[in-house]
Structure formats: structure tokens, C-alpha cells
A and B are shown apart, each in its own frame.
Chain A
Amino acid sequence: MIRYFIPVALFAVLVVLLALGIHQAPRKDLVPSPLIGKPAPSFSLPSLSDPGKQVSTAALRGHWYLFNVWGTWCVSCHIEEPELLAIARTGVVPLIGLDWKDSRRQAIAYLQAKGNPYQQIAFDPGGLEAIHWGVYGAPETFLVNPQGIIVYKYIGPITPRAWARDFLPRLPAAPAVSGS
């Protein structure tokens, strides 16, 4: 009797395997980052607005921050910009920008026109810093905790839904939200 179920069981296993394959195939654009749970790459890069100043991870230690990789050439970043401004207005967590493979003049003009959600922006025209963070597209956003550990990575433009679902629960209870 059991032997009649063996082919059926094998077939079921195959179906599950193929279903998993089909289900995961479209997620090929969301490659999981091996950096989650690891220390954020340490860097010291010139500031976008003031080349004489440096933006460094050492100075960011001790508080939560969002590390957002963007560029004026990146269409999805334009879509994301209003949400970043909204996040900045809540004051829950500061935004640190990495202006990736961009022109300084264009980036400054862009922020002046659209508004600047970032507390600091590191300028990475050569693109090496983005490689250190395992970035392969823009926008990408990393949530870094006070110990300098990458807690979460989000690929693509942050939507209000993604912010509420994926970022807020990972952040400590924020006084700006829970307070009077």
C-alpha cells in the first residue's frame, strides 16, 4: 500500500521545490546582504557640501542612523526623496547620505531644489565606498545601530509602508513619535 504513495510523495517534494524556485526567482533583484549583523564599513569621506570637511563613521558611533545611497542620476531616488524628507521631519533617526557616482554641482543643485533630508552627506564620486557597503543599485538604505552594526538593509525607494513595516519596529521607541 505504502509503495503507491512513494511516487506521490516524491512528486509533492518536486512541486514544493519548483514552487520555491518560482517564488524566489523574481527576488533575484533583492540579493540578501552578508553585511547584516556585521559592523558597518568604516570610512572618512569628504562632505558633499563642504569638501574641506569629512564625514566619518567614527563620528556616527553612539546613535542610530540611516545610511542612504543615492545619486541625482537615479530615478528611483527622485521617487524616494519625499519619503526621506518625511522621515527627516519626524526626527526619529538622522539620515546620512552617500552621494554615489555623482557630480557635486548637480547634487547640490538637486538638494537645493527638492529639499535636503540628510544630516550629513558623504561624497563618493569614484564609487569605491558603495562597493564596501555591498551596494549594487540606488537607492539602498542601511539601518545602523549605536554600536555601528548594520541591522537592516532596504533595497529600492523607501515607501511609507516600508518605513512603518521594516524600519520603525527595528528602531528603539522613539521619543519624537511616542512623546506628547
Chain B
Amino acid sequence: MMRAGLRSGALAAVLLLAAPFAHAIAPTRMPTPALEVRYERLIHGFRCMQCQDESLANSPVSLAADMRRQIRQMLLAGATDQQIRNFFVSRYGYFILFKPPFVLKTAWLWLAPVVLLATGALSAAWVIRRRAALAARDDNDEDESLDDGLAGPGKHT
């Protein structure tokens, strides 16, 4: 009994000591699963401004922790996802979003691939049609030469 008590006490102590490390990056729990889902989605959608290729969710720097805390507090205060995004965009610019919105300033970013693809497809189509036309003309030439009787025997088209 005494031993078991000691053992569970030791276990509890180990768990308590380990607790801070269990969620070292994002040590948080939101009060409801719905808020937890939104929180997780939000922190994965923001760039850590210090280690810029990581999200707030994965960044160990303390600024990211401050930003996560700010997001948590805004969520608890009833802010919408859009309000939280606006809060950070108005202070850090669109750069903080991993998925920039489609606005005038970012239009080229979203449209450039479509434009490039369309340009490529159109020029490919143009080249193919031109080649086809050339080939057809060559065929006609050959036909004419056949008619002229200049082609060797046994050659068809």
C-alpha cells in the first residue's frame, strides 16, 4: 500500500515534470473542441515572422508564442477567424498569411500561373497547327509532283 502510494506519487511527479514538455511548442487547450479546431487551423495559417518558413504552430520562438497567446485570447473573446486574420494582416501585412487572399495587390500572384499556362497552351496550339499546315502543304507538293510524274515508282503520298 505504502509502496503503491510511493510509486503512484513518483509517477505523478514524473508526469507533472513532463507536462510542460508534452506540448512544448503549443502549450494550450481551448475550452471547446470547436475552438480547438479553429485555433489549430489559425496557428497553422500564420507565418512565424522570425523563422519565416515555419508556421506559428511549429515555431519555437517566443514571438510566435506571444502571437499564439494573442490568437487564443481573441478566440476566447469571441473574435471571428476573419477578425483575427485582419488583426495580424493590418500589423504585419499579407506576408504573415501562408495563403494570401485574392486582392488587387496579390492578383498577379494568383493569376500569373493561369496566364503562363494559357500562354503556353496557346503557343503550343499555334505551333502544332502551323506544323500541321506545313505538313499538309508538303503532302500537296508531293501529290503535285506525283501528278507531274516526277516521283519514283511505288511511292504513294
A residues with a Cβ closer than 8 A to B are 28, 31-35, 101, 126-128, 130-134, 136-137
Contacts and interface: CB of A to CB of B under 8 A. Distances in A.
Given A28-B52, A31-B49, A136-B50, A126 B66 contact: yes
Given A35-B90, A126-B66, A127-B66, 5 more contacts: A34-B91, A101-B66, A131-B91, A132-B91, A136-B50
Given A28-B52, A131-B70, A136-B50, A34 B62 contact: no
Interface in B27-81: 49-50, 52, 62-63, 66-67, 70
Main secondary structure of the interface of B (DSSP, over half): helix
Contact of A127 (B49, B52, B62, B95): B62
Interface residues of B, number: 14
Nearest to B67: A131
B66 A136 contact: no
A134 B92 contact: yes
B9 interface: no
A32 B93 contact: yes
Contacts of B67: 131
| Residue of A32, A35, A126, A134 with most chain B CB atoms under a 10 A cut-off | A134
A130 B63 CA distance: 9
A137 B91 contact: no
A131 B66 contact: yes
Interface string B112-150: 000000000000000000000000000000000000000
A136 B49 contact: yes
Given A128-B70, A136-B63, A34 B89 contact: yes
Interface of B: 49-50, 52, 62-63, 66-67, 70, 89-93, 95
B50 A33 contact: no
A31 B91 contact: no
B111 to A, nearest CB: 14
A131 to B, nearest CB: 6
Contacts of B66: 101, 126-128, 130-131
Contacts of A132: 91
A35 B92 CA distance: 8
A113 to B, nearest CB: 24
B62 A101 contact: yes
Contacts of A28: 52
12 contacts: A31-B93, A34-B89, A34-B90, A127-B62, A127-B66, A128-B66, A130-B66, A131-B91, A132-B91, A136-B49, A136-B50, A136-B63
